[in-house]
Structure 1
């Protein structure tokens, strides 16, 4: 297998675009090569097989969706209250929505994982680790709420983002920030003390 990290990343980025556009059935080495604008056979030099490609695409999506250092650093600035959580959740919705093909590719991978146990194992581990890291970050940062609240926000925001990217007329764009704020308020609850 080839080891050029920049070429591998470009091929994975192309695979994300193919998955989002054509679904998992359309993800072939030839389609990835065409999307990456590289000679036919290039992708097969970087990935052992289609399962390897699918697995690595999942990791690449998460690399590209991670918040930047300044977003993480902003958590420690100012009060750590519900309004801070709401701002972070609005940022999350915007960051994921700005990379729609990544979210849609991840949905395709999740569907494909119902037929591929190895992919299911990898995605389960990746998503569980990501969720655990978010819970740990939330709790250590002193933001209001508990682990269950983080999980509820994760579940609620995932569906909001899914609607936004696939059926945008369900909830008009202008309503999304208010919906995120209300979700945070209801999940964290008025009875929880502010930090």
Structure 2
């Protein structure tokens, strides 16, 4: 099978999940989004579960590519650099990362009924806990595993609100200003004078 076409179908499945949700994920919808002849998706991924698996694996690949880029770039060396990093990740949610994150949320819902799907998605969330803790340490903050986990959970909790873009919720949570949100989060978890 053609690997380029396979990737095109997997990317189309992510777009369908982001646009139409889990109920809209059909072979026909993926064919249409990928602009391939009818039946192509079914030839590559014969069942709906196979399409779900393909989309989840593609999301994981994209996540690993993004984290690889971040790992290859200079990391934050102080609180300001950490603020910039976390703010840029939040801004990515409404920008280039939007489709992938919407698809991941749909896949997480599907995973409540398909444990095998959860196993594919789990490295994304667990990777954030590890990576974000390392970033907090590199920035010189007095990190404990609990503090690092609180920061990661707060950033994760922000994602659905940024995706749905409800103005009252964004204002109430401080997410209408991602820079201020990150600064307030770090000040709360790591107040001035905090020690490990």
**Superposition TM-score, scaled by structure 1 size:** 0.82
Moved more, 39-48 or 22-31: 39-48
**Pairs within 5 Å for 1:156-195:** 156-169=154-167, 170-172=169-171, 174-192=176-194
Moved more, 126-135 or 99-108: 126-135
Instruction: Say if 1:178 and 1:26 are closer, same or farther in 2 by CA, change over 3 A.
Output: same
- Please state if 1:84 is matched with 2:86: no
| Deviation sequence 1:97-122 (CA, Å, 0-9, x none) | 21212111111101111111221232
2:107 paired residue number: 109
SS of 2:73's equivalent in the other structure is: helix
Contact 1:24 1:108 in 2 (8 A): yes
Size of the alignment, in residue pairs? 188
Give the direction of change, closer, same or farther, for the CA distance of 1:71–1:95 in structure 2 (3 Å limit): farther
1:73 aligns with 2:96: no
How far, CA to CA, are the matches of 1:164 and 1:75 in structure 2?
Answer: 25
Gaps of 5+ in 1: none
SS in 2 for 1:39: coil
CA, structure 1 residues 106+129, in 2 after alignment: closer, same or farther (shift >3 Å)?
same
Where does structure 2 lack aligned partners over 5 or more consecutive residues?
A: none
